[in-house]
Amino acid sequence: MLDRPLEKPDAAHPQRQRVEQRAQIIMRVVWSAYVAAIALTLGFQLYNRLPECGDSWACTVTVTKSVIWSIAWPFYWAFYLNG
């Protein structure tokens, strides 16, 4: 029935290489945008929360909340905007 062996997916195929390169570029852009959003959000959060620092415990809590919110917020919006 089969007169030739099954072809393995060839990673060296030029069209496949172009598709993989595009996918890598897109993912690099997406992750770069996510990291930039994290950095901007962290700066904004720290700017707004650092005046609340009264003692070392309050400062630790508010900075920890800033970091957590900065990581979660862009991720949350990505899902929120996509429905």
Please say whether the beta carbons of 63 and 48 come within 8 A: no
Residue 53 to residues 57, 69, 75, Cα–Cα distance (Å): 8, 17, 27
pLDDT average, residue stretch 70-79: 82
Structure tokens belonging to residue 33: 């945008």
pTM: 0.63
Question: Is the pLDDT reported for residue 1 higher than 60?
Answer: no
Q: What tens digit of pLDDT does each residue of 15-54 get?
A: 788 888 899 999 999 889 989 988 998 999 889 888 878 8
Q: What is the pLDDT of residues 53-71, one digit of tens each?
A: 888 888 888 889 889 988 8
Q: What is the pLDDT of residue 7?
A: 57
